[in-house]
Amino acid sequence: MPAGPAPETLTAATAPLATEAGRDRTAVPTWGKGRDVTRYICAAAYLDREYARSLIRQVAAEPRLGVAPAPACDVPVALRHAYLANTRRHGRDLVLTVLLLLALVFTLWVGDGGLTLLSLFLAWVTLFSFELSTRYGRHLQSLRPDRFDPADAPAPLNDDIATRLRQIGAYAGGNVTAYSGYSPFIGYGFPRDSWSLTFDVTTSGRPEGRPREFDVADLYTHIAERVATLALPCLEIEERVFVDGGSLLDDRRFLPDPLGRPVARIPSALLDSLKRTPEEGARPYLAVHSTGWGGEAVTSLFLRFVRSDSHLFVEAVPTVLYPLRDRYRVIDTLMPSPSFREVCTLLSETLVSTVFVLLAAPARAVSGFAPDYGLSRRLRRQHKLITRLRRFDYGARQSVRRQAAATEHSRYFQKADSGMVVKTVEKRVLDALVEFAEEHGIDVGELVQRQQMIINNGIIAAGGGRVESSAVASGERSRVSTVLGKIPLLNLD
């Protein structure tokens, strides 16, 4: 994978701008301003049938579900290419269905083996022509680095699809994530080792003194301002609310229309209110993002602060969004026209897979008439759940970006950069916490002790602290080993 342009970093000259960004956290993250991720995901729609199908069914065709964030990806553009890719496959499947029927007629009724072989040969030619035009035709070739233009994305198939794509596009500038299931951080990759701590804010750090009262919203602002001065690649800060999709039905703040989608954005006043008065189903976080490697590697740290009468609770959840799968980067190595060797390879591959694709063509051709297959039935069931049972989960089911991501870094330095970002931001956050506490006359002895444990060891085992890890090894001779078996599968697209 090419390293891409040099990362953008903050210097001393830009520090005032970073501080201003810390005060105004309504700006939408640009994720490094890279377009490669969008290109690769558009290519994935042509190269991966199931991925394109899931984009349409789980994202584009759902009029009532929230939309998960997709860092560095223009989701409406990707969905337009997904619809076009499915339309092309449907046309191919219709031709293959006709040829399969002819082969059956020539074999069972006419009894002419020559005509049967001719039908199978034409099926092979059809599949070969489709694969050749997919890889070297104008659609995939338009996604090459020197030719890609999001404005040239295929037009929506109809007005209904265009309306839904506009609604989905609005979520890119929002600050609300309606999630479904266990993890609220859908779209931001895989959670890493999280930690939390709590300390007493009623004990004064001065003899015979009393701590000053503080607004937890001011703490969010202070932390953001201090973190914003870090010199990290493409550092961006936002405030985001994560809401449980199953608890939105009667909450007009996040769901004005029970038969519509959750809102994409809430005002800052409501967000500050949620900071001061925590709720079970809606939780605000200060999100710190660092984007590198052309937008493919995104490291985030989600911070939450909860103030009670006597204590302050601090939660930190780092997440890592890995680069896209290697197979989706084929557009960077495709020549404008195939070589003789590539044509021969494609001929042999399609010869092996023709029978399998031919047998699957009838069912695919029927379902292809409605790429939103089952939508009407799903909408009727959703309507009953909402209006009668008063129970429905509006949370996003799928993340366009994470669905196409690999499960690990593709380069060592990507992993090293991610670790550097997390440790650097964590230290700045903890230092800012100590500063804020000292400014308000709070005893920081206990906090400093916990700070050192987090920074030096990465694990807290003392009272009032907690770390969650899915992979922790302890002891001098401990080992953690993972065996991954990769079995090449036949391409049956």
Q: What is the pLDDT of residues 238-275, one digit of tens each?
A: 999 999 999 999 899 999 999 999 999 999 999 999 99
Position 452 scores a pLDDT of 73
Kind of pairing between the strands at 297-307 and 311-321: antiparallel
Residue 385 confidence (pLDDT) above 70? yes
- Residue 295: strand, helix, or coil: coil
More confident residue, 34 or 436: 436
Position 218 scores a pLDDT of 94
What does pTM read for this prediction? 0.82
Position 451 scores a pLDDT of 73
- DSSP structural state of residue 213: P
Mean pLDDT lowest among 27-36, 384-393, 418-427: 27-36
Position 365 scores a pLDDT of 87
Residue 456 CB: number of other CB atoms within 10 A?
8
Position 450 scores a pLDDT of 76
In 148-215, beta strands by DSSP E: 176-179, 190-191, 194-200
Report percent pLDDT > 90 for the chain: 41
What's the pLDDT band for 493 if we cut at 50, 70, 90? low
Residue 474 confidence (pLDDT) above 60? no
Let me know if 275 is exposed, middle or buried by CB neighbors in 10 A (0-12, 13-18, 19+). Answer: buried
The Cα–Cα gap between 60 and 83 comes to 9
Tokens of 415: 């992993």
On average, the pLDDT of the chain sits at 83
The Cα–Cα gap between 68 and 405 comes to 14
Backbone angles phi, psi at 434, to 5 degrees: -65, -45
In 245-335, beta strands by DSSP E: 282-292, 297-307, 311-321
Residue 149 CB: number of other CB atoms within 10 A?
10
Residue 235's H or E segment, with its range, is: strand 235-244
Position 328 scores a pLDDT of 87
Nearest residue to 5 (alpha-carbon basis) of 34, 26, 31: 34
**Mean pLDDT computed over 435-445:** 88
For the range 139-147, what are the long-range contacts, defined as Cβ-Cβ under 8 Å and sequence gap of 24 or more? 139/46, 139/81, 139/84, 139/85, 139/88, 140/43, 140/46, 140/331, 140/334, 141/331, 141/334, 141/336, 143/39, 143/42, 143/43, 143/331, 144/331, 144/332, 144/334, 145/36, 145/39, 145/332
What's the pLDDT band for 458 if we cut at 50, 70, 90? low
**CA 383 remoteness from chain centre:** 28
Position 459 scores a pLDDT of 44
Position 492 scores a pLDDT of 58
